[in-house]
Amino acid sequence: MKDLTTRVVLDPSGMAELEHLLHRLTERMTEGVEADARANWREHVETGKTLATVHAEHHGMYGHVWVGGRVWQFVEYGTQPHTIMVKTGNPFDYALRNRPKHFYRYPGIVHHPGNREFAPMRRAAYRKRDAFGIATSPMLGNL
C-alpha cells in the first residue's frame, strides 16, 4: 500500500494578504475600543480631564488604548470605604474643597463611603471583542 502524504505549500502572497487582514482587524478593533471607551467615560465626566486623555494607537498587529490622569483607576476599579484627610495630617489645618461640586468641608476630614467599579475601559474592550468575534471568524473577509 502506498503511503499517502499531504504537502502544504504556503503562498507568500496569501500570507501577505492574511497579514494585511490582521492589521486591518487590529486597526478596527483599536478604533472601536477607543470610541466605546470615550462613550463610557462621558458618563463620568466632571471636568473632562480624564476623558481628554483617552487615546489609541495601532501598529501592525498591536493596538493600545490608554486612559490617563489621576483618578481613572478609582472609576475603573471602584474604591472601598475610606477616610479622606488634608495632606498635612491635621484636619484642622485646611478645609477640603471640591469646586466643581461646590463642596466645602471643615475640618478637612471626610469619611467616604466608597464607590462601585464602573469599568469603562474593560467594558469597551469586552464589548468590541464580542462584536468582532474570534479573529479566525468570517469577519476577516469583511475587512
Percent of the chain with pLDDT over 90: 28
Give the percent of the chain with pLDDT over 70: 78
Q: How far apart are CA 37 and CA 34, in angstroms?
A: 5
Q: Say which range, 3-12, 75-84, 96-105, has the weakest mean pLDDT.
A: 96-105
State how far the Cα of 138 lies from the Cα of 132, in Å rounded to an integer: 10
Question: 3-state class of 96 per DSSP?
Answer: strand
Q: In this structure, are residues 25 and 134 in contact, taking their beta carbons and an 8 Å threshold? A: no
| Predicted pLDDT of residue 89 | 65
**Angstrom distance (rounded) from CA 113 to CA 124:** 27
Burial class for 51, CB neighbours closer than 10 Å (0-12, 13-18, 19+): buried
Give the pLDDT confidence of 106-125 residue by residue, as tens digits: 666 778 889 999 999 999 98
Any idea where the domains of the chain sit in the sequence? 13-67+119-142
Helix or strand (DSSP H, E) at 17: helix 12-42
Q: Are 121 and 67 in contact (CB under 8 A)?
A: yes
pLDDT for position 13? 83
Average pLDDT, whole number, for the chain? 81
The pLDDT, as a whole number, for residue 66 is 92
The pLDDT assigned to 22 comes to 86
List pLDDT tens digits, range 64-96.
Answer: 999 998 889 998 999 999 888 777 766 666 666
Instruction: Report whether pLDDT(35) > 90.
Output: yes
Q: How distant, in Å, are the alpha carbons of 33, 39, 137 from that of 42?
A: 14, 5, 32
Q: What is the pTM of this model?
A: 0.67
